[in-house]
């Protein structure tokens, strides 16, 4: 069975060392909050061969965008990163294959796909959506919010990354400016395009060498 270790604070990253033995019997993922210090936590987690999920509990300010850019560079360019770092990994693959999946699904927060259960045994939606007004139809939560964003004809309308984001970073504040997160998407898109071109060139060169 897969194991998900949830960190409450990135500063707890030294506590990861004893859990590395779990990898002998289980796939293990570390959920790390996007908060100051998350880069150090991700760096250690991937060095221990853990998969990582970035837990975006808040809309990142410029300082966090810069730290996320460091994490992205680690994921894209460090040869010792052998496990996925989400949400970057699935978004990169979406760009590469031309089949986008929104962050609501990637981050396991789309109620049509996954639900949460409280300690009292009550079924509910992702904790990130606390404060969202919804009825008993959990499955319509994200779709209703996306419709509201598009009706307002704000930043989401015509956004080149709507298919990847789906308004994920517009919660809870619809007025949040996405320039920073767009820069991260753009880096992922460019990296996927570069890999696609390099592999195509390699395949063509191998074809030319065949007798």
Task: Let me know the angle formed at the C-alpha of 68 by 46 and 176, rounded to the nearest 5 degrees.
Answer: 145
83: its two tokens: 């496990």
Query: 53 pairs with which residues across the strands?
Result: 31, 86
- CB of 144 closer than 8 Å to CB of 111: no
The confidence score (pLDDT) of residue 4 equals 94
The confidence score (pLDDT) of residue 208 equals 59
Going from N- to C-terminal start, the domains of the chain cover: 1-86, 99-211
Dist. CA 108–CA 175, nearest whole Å: 24
The confidence score (pLDDT) of residue 170 equals 94
The confidence score (pLDDT) of residue 52 equals 97
Q: Is 117 helix (H, G, I), strand (E, B) or coil?
A: strand
- CB of 69 closer than 8 Å to CB of 182: no
Q: Positive or negative CA dihedral for 126, 130, 132, 134?
A: positive
The confidence score (pLDDT) of residue 210 equals 54
- 74's enclosing H/E stretch is helix 62-77
- Please report, in tens digits, the pLDDT of each residue of the chain (211 residues total): 779 999 999 999 999 999 999 999 989 999 999 999 999 999 999 999 999 999 998 899 999 999 999 999 999 999 889 999 999 999 999 999 998 889 999 999 988 888 888 888 887 778 887 766 655 577 788 888 999 999 999 999 999 999 999 999 999 999 999 999 999 999 999 999 999 888 877 666 666 565 5
How many residues can be counted in the chain? Answer: 211
Please, what's the largest Cα pairwise distance for the chain? 69
Burial class, 72, CB count within 10 angstroms (exposed 0-12 / middle 13-18 / buried 19+) = buried
């Amino acid at each position: 069975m897969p194991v998900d270790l949830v960190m409450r604070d990135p500063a707890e990253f030294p506590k990861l060392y004893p859990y590395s033995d779990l990898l002998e019997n289980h796939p293990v993922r570390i959920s790390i909050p996007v908060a100051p210090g998350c880069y150090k936590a991700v760096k250690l987690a991937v060095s221990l061969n853990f998969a990582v999920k970035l837990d975006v509990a808040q809309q990142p300010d410029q300082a966090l965008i810069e730290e996320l850019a460091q994490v992205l560079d680690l994921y894209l360019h460090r040869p010792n990163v052998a496990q996925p770092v989400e949400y970057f990994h699935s978004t990169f693959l979406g760009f590469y294959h031309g089949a986008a999946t929104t962050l609501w699904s990637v981050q396991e927060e789309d109620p049509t796909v996954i639900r949460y259960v409280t300690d009292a045994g009550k079924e509910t939606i992702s904790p990130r959506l606390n404060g969202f007004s919804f009825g008993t139809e959990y499955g319509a939560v994200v779709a209703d919010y996306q419709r509201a964003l598009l009706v307002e004809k704000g930043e989401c309308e015509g956004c080149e990354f709507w298919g990847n984001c789906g308004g994920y970073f517009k919660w809870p504040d619809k007025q949040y400016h996405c320039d920073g997160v767009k820069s991260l998407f753009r880096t992922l898109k460019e990296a996927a395009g570069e890999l696609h071109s390099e592999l195509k060139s390699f395949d063509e060169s191998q074809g030319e060498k065949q007798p």
